[in-house]
Amino acid sequence: MGFQRSSNRQKEQPGISDVSSNERAPNSCQGAVSDDANYSSWMVEHPSALTSFDQMMKDAKGKKIVVFLDYDGTLSPIVNDPDRAFMSDEMRASVREVAKYFPTAIISGRSRDKVKGFVQLSNIYYAGSHGMDIMAPPRPARSSDGKYHTVSLDRKSNEAVFQPAQTFLPSIQKILKELEEAIMKIQGARDYGMLEEKVKSIMKHYPDFGLGWGKKVMEIRPSIEWNKGNALEYLLDTLALGNCTDVLPVYIGDDQTDEDAFKVIRKRGQGYPIVVASSPKDTKASYSLHDPSEVLAFLLRLARWRKASSSSRSLSQIWGVGS
């Protein structure tokens, strides 16, 4: 569960003490040049996945690609109102097209139902709450070491659901009720300082849960070892690809929580961890994309590449898994 942090900025009002725009211009230009230089330097270590695309696909020839995507800041822009983080029709179409050729999953910090409501696609896997609530079309969950076993069917459909934090659900419901009562008088939950104080005071009574911070969000998580990296591994195992040496996971994300997935790919020694960033940041990603518009361009290019190279192959052959 998470609470959105306001990112609203007050507009600067002109006044007598203000420095004129002409006087500010030299410093602003110098700052812009410095920022551009820093970003260019950072991109030497994290080159664009668009300019590197041909080489990436050359290295991927003969291997099985699996696509993992974050949602906010990756498929949709970061916005002030979390309920209006809509993906464009073009982005939705690109994800749909990619999923025709590769197993595709969205791993988000949002609830599974929320992110599924935004994406509205039936041919992909959904992992909500940082992978603590995973929904997939029914197929055996073949684990390489037996540690994944809690798979059930959603009552609303025939889709398989995996929830590693299921035993925490009663406590989560209690916390949710207490939080709703505590913050209902905070207008739009935009007063972040007051919100944070109330959340911390309630969570002192729940030692089995911890607080975490993402991009513009405060999150409450059960104290279990599970993150987006674990979700990536689980989904690969579900596809019977966990121990394959010819699998290339492609993970695209912009948040600190995506770093766990980047680390897993690094540890595997194969795959493409891609960070979405418009400024330099510490990351385990090997490649970068500037913003969601570049994510769109990358996904379209990936689908076109596979379509051109596999027009005569069936979907099961492309995915490399049995029906």
The reply to whether 137 and 246 lie within a common domain is yes
Residue 37 in domain: no
Task: Please indicate, yes or no, if residue 12 is contained in any of the structural domains.
Answer: no
Distance of CA 146 to the CA centre of its chain: 26
Residue type at 29 in one-letter notation: C
Three-class SS state of 17: coil
**Which tokens hold the place of 171?**
């406590």
pLDDT of residue 216: 63
Q: Are 177 and 301 within one domain?
A: no
The reply to whether 178 and 311 lie within a common domain is no
Q: Look up tokens 């939950």; give the residue.
A: 189
Beta partners for residue 128, in sequence order: 133
194 in the same domain as 156 = no
231 and 132 in a common domain: yes
CA distance 291 to 277: 6
**Dihedral sign, CA of 49, 54, 60, 65?**
positive
On whether residue 283 sits in a domain, the answer given is yes
Phi, psi (deg, nearest 5) at residue 84: -120, 25
Q: In whole angstroms, what is the distance from residue 34 CA to residue 52 CA?
A: 25
Q: What is the DSSP string of 80-116?
A: SSGGG-PPPHHHHHHHHHHHHHS-EEEE-SS-HHHHH
Do residue 228 and residue 210 come from a single domain? no
Q: Is residue 111 part of a domain?
A: yes
pLDDT value of position 167: 75
- 28, part of any domain: no
Containing structural domain, residue 179: 169-218
Q: Say whether both 69 and 210 belong to one domain.
A: no
The residue from 178, 199, 218 where one domain ends is 218
| Adjacent-strand bridge partners of 214 | 217
Residues 149 and 253 in one domain: yes
Are 106 and 212 found together in one domain?
no
Is 58 a member of any domain? no
Is residue 50 one of the residues assigned to a domain? no
Quick check: pTM over 0.85? no
Within a domain: residue 33? Answer: no
Looking at the structure, tell me whether residues 312 and 267 fall in a common domain. yes
If asked whether residues 230 and 207 sit together in one domain, one would say no
Instruction: Read off the amino acid at residue 104.
Output: T
> How many domains would you assign to the chain?
2
Which of 218, 253, 287 delimits the end of a domain?
Answer: 218
CATH of the domain at 128: 3.40.50.1000
What DSSP string describes 137-189? -S-----SSS----EEE-TTSS-EEE-TTGGGHHHHHHHHHHHHHHHTTSGGG
Rounded mean pLDDT for each run of 10 residues along the chain, 323 residues in total: 45 36 48 76 96 96 95 94 94 96 94 94 90 70 42 50 75 88 72 81 87 73 84 92 94 95 96 97 97 98 90 50 40
Looking at the structure, tell me whether residues 233 and 203 fall in a common domain.
no
